[in-house]
Structure 1
Amino acid sequence: MHITEGYLPPIHAAAWAAASAPFVVHGARAVVRQVRENPESRLLLGAAGAFTFVLSAIKLPSASGSSSHPTGTGLGAVLFRPPVMAFLCTIVLLFQALLLAHGGITTLGANVFSMGVVGPWVGYATWRLLKGANTGVAMFFAAALADLSTYCMTSLQLALAYPDATSGFAGAAAKFLSVFALTQIPLAVVEGLLSVLVFRLLTDIAKPELVRLGVLGRPARPAGQDRDRSEATEVTR
């Protein structure tokens, strides 16, 4: 997922930076609005960013000879919506490029697009599709597919930059997907399970905040309770 410094041709690096920029600007405005309207959510917002930073900084060797990382973006996308994650991922990837030599400055736009745009939107769409049935299952697939889609997007970015000499973009895409996406499946499953555990912990200790953010619905009042309240109002009139 971290395309290394200088690996993309300059025109590709510039194009991905331009494609990512509107999402990052929109995300920065979303963060400012979130903090202004719900200042109490700053701690959870920081935790979502830290979760993404720590997970995506873990570098594990893969069977293909490359390396793989979790992304940690699915959980944040569910909590704060994808635009916020575009901005948070930009900060995360910038610090990782400067401090950990993961990714790079010239490839920042491409890495932001795959991890901060595509991954969160796929994860959030999955959450919206499945949360009505079971929030645990929805959280698992949201995190796992956000992770996996990030690597699929990275594979396509590399295929665009380095098409195969004989089979072109399609051949290169198949090659890069086999190297990155297939080997990422076990990590995506692990990230999904970890995200479910963290989400359940947040549900236990910060449920009012999750309700305020719209992640969880407000518990329905029993019908008898509403009737008793209505009768009490009539008596006091």
Structure 2
Amino acid sequence: MHIAEGFLPPAHAIAWGVASAPFVVHGVRSLTREVKEHPESTLLLGASGAFTFVLSALKIPSVTGSCSHPTGTGLGAILFRPPIMTVLGTITLLFQALLLAHGGLTTLGANVFSMAIVGPWAGYAVYRLLKRYDVPLMVAVFFGAFVADLSTYCVTSVQLAMAFPDPSSGFIGALGKFGGIFAVTQIPLAVSEGLLTVIVMRLLVQSSKGELTRLGVLLQGKRSATKATETATTEKTATTEETAATEKTTTETGASA
């Protein structure tokens, strides 16, 4: 990823474009609504897009017809949800195809599907799952960015294996070869991207705490207070039960005596 211009068979290129189109349309609507309702988020949206553009431009040669690089989509997915990140990722891929010769127009649909659709959704799902179980924010951010990066290359491996199956072992053999080659460069890149995303999120917590609270990344004061009250109530109930059990035991002991 990015898959190079003209590398995929025409039928595959068209199919991936058709598969990506509904997600992009939905993302455009979500982005339009976000900007209309919260124009103050424009700066953070631009920063998320720039983060993706810069990281995904740092390519390393890998599989023939493709390359390895960070994706940068995890941050935007966590901040603004995957549909909006789909639009930011699509714009990034389009600009890189036109200005940097990374990827291409014929393979835009396939690249969008792997990097701007699957990556953000997978990373966001992991992030939300970890937050549901009260995992610390920065740990959830790290694994969200890590999975967003790595899942992109898993999908790219599938796309290449479908287009170029192994002559003897078919799709499965090709998938093993493409995935194995990608893993050498991509796992370290995914770890690095996760750490970098944590650093950026820490800076945003310091500089844009109000905006992160509105976006739901940070707990609102009311929700935090409610959670603290629930914890205190639970602890108080447990203490009461322990006291009652102790008094009961003391009473029974006295009666026996």
8 Å Cα contact 1:27-1:85 kept in structure 2: yes
Instruction: In structure 1, list runs of 5 or more residues that go unmatched.
Output: 224-237
Could you tell me which residue of structure 2 aligns to residue 234 of structure 1? none
Q: Which has the larger radius of gyration?
A: 2
- Residues 130-169 of structure 1 aligned to structure 2 (within 5 Å): 130-131=130-131, 132-169=134-171
Q: What SS is found at the alignment partner of 1:217?
A: coil
Could you tell me which residue of structure 1 aligns to residue 173 of structure 2? 171
Q: Percent identity?
A: 68
Ranges of 4+ aligned residues in structure 1 off by more than 4 Å:
61-66
Using the alignment, how far apart are the partners of 1:108 and 1:157 within structure 2?
A: 13
Using the alignment, how far apart are the partners of 1:202 and 1:22 within structure 2?
A: 31
- Figure out how many residues of one structure are paired with residues of the other and give that number: 223
- Residues 179-218 of structure 1 aligned to structure 2 (within 5 Å): 179-218=181-220
8 Å Cα contact 1:152-1:177 kept in structure 2: yes
Using the alignment, how far apart are the partners of 2:52 and 2:77 within structure 1?
A: 11
Q: Could you tell me how far 1:172 is from its partner in structure 2?
A: 0.5
8 Å Cα contact 1:152-1:181 kept in structure 2: no
8 Å Cα contact 1:64-1:183 kept in structure 2: no
Could you tell me which residue of structure 2 aligns to residue 90 of structure 1? 90
8 Å Cα contact 1:63-1:183 kept in structure 2: no
8 Å Cα contact 2:89-2:112 kept in structure 1: yes
Could you tell me which residue of structure 2 aligns to residue 34 of structure 1? 34
8 Å Cα contact 1:64-1:179 kept in structure 2: no
Using the alignment, how far apart are the partners of 1:145 and 1:198 within structure 2?
A: 17
Could you tell me which residue of structure 2 aligns to residue 80 of structure 1? 80
CA deviations on 1:151-206 (whole Å, 9 max, x unpaired) are 11000000000111111110010010011134200000000000000001101110
Question: TM (normalized to structure 2)?
Answer: 0.83
Q: Could you tell me how far 1:60 is from its partner in structure 2?
A: 2.6
Q: Could you tell me how far 1:214 is from its partner in structure 2?
A: 1.3
Is 2:128 the partner of 1:128?
A: yes
Could you tell me which residue of structure 2 aligns to residue 4 of structure 1? 4
Could you tell me which residue of structure 2 aligns to residue 235 of structure 1? none
8 Å Cα contact 1:155-1:181 kept in structure 2: no
Aligned-partner residue type, residue 118 of structure 1: V
